[in-house]
């Protein structure tokens, strides 16, 4: 993490931008967007399995971030706050999308052939069933605990564990092909 030492207090580089953005400075918020959009997009892509959907979700996350920025109290790093906000926003939006398209498969079809490199792992993750993919990303990629995932997704911790087990088994199978 890049930081600047200022009179015996270490201040993250985002802090001045966040404070300016909280006062309504759109230029400061744009700088925050440029600095963190990649992280949000990567999370959205893994959660949704679709690059087009990930772009929409990234925009939605930053709309929410702008609205909720005044409530940021600097109790944690901005990136920590944004990652948590992103996770909740993405799950909320995916639920809305799921309700609208009930009964239809909304995920993209990725190539079946997978190898052990990162690109093929990403493709294999995109092929997972939606709930299993979301739990896998939240647990194994983002580091959330089963109880946190259960709360975010409105499922039980046991269901989260089951979905994670299912996701891992399907990934192993896909990567062995």
| Token digits of residue 96 | 């809305």
- What pLDDT is attached to residue 58? 96
Give the strand pairing for 3-6 and 9-12. antiparallel
Nearest CA to 26 out of 60, 1, 62, 2 is that of 62
- What pLDDT is attached to residue 100? 65
What are the structural domains, with CATH classification, of the chain?
9-108 (1.10.1740.10), 112-177 (1.10.10.10)
The answer to whether the beta carbons of residues 133 and 56 sit under 8 Å apart is: no
pLDDT digit of tens for each residue in the chain (177 aa)? 444 444 334 446 799 999 999 999 999 999 999 999 999 999 999 999 889 999 999 999 999 999 999 999 999 999 999 999 999 999 988 888 776 665 444 444 443 333 345 567 778 888 899 899 999 989 988 888 999 999 988 999 999 999 999 999 998 888 787
The answer to whether the beta carbons of residues 171 and 128 sit under 8 Å apart is: yes
- What pLDDT is attached to residue 127? 87
What pTM was computed for the model?
Answer: 0.66
């Amino acid at each position: 993490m890049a930081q600047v030492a200022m009179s015996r207090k270490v201040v993250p580089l985002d802090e001045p931008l966040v404070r300016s953005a909280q006062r309504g400075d759109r230029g400061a918020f744009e700088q925050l967007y440029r600095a963190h959009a990649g992280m949000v997009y990567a999370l959205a892509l893994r959660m949704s399995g679709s690059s087009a959907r990930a772009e929409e979700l990234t925009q939605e996350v930053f709309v929410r971030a702008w609205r909720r920025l005044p409530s940021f109290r600097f109790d944690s790093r901005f990136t920590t706050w944004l990652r948590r906000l992103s996770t909740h926003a993405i799950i909320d939006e995916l639920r809305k999308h799921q309700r609208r398209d009930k009964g239809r498969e909304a995920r993209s079809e990725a190539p079946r052939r997978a190898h052990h490199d990162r690109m093929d792992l990403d493709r294999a993750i995109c092929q997972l069933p939606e709930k299993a993919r979301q739990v896998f990303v939240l647990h194994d990629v983002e580091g959330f605990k089963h109880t946190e995932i259960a709360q975010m997704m409105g499922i039980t911790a046991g269901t989260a564990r089951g979905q994670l087990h299912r996701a891992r088994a399907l990934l192993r199978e896909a990567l062995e092909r």
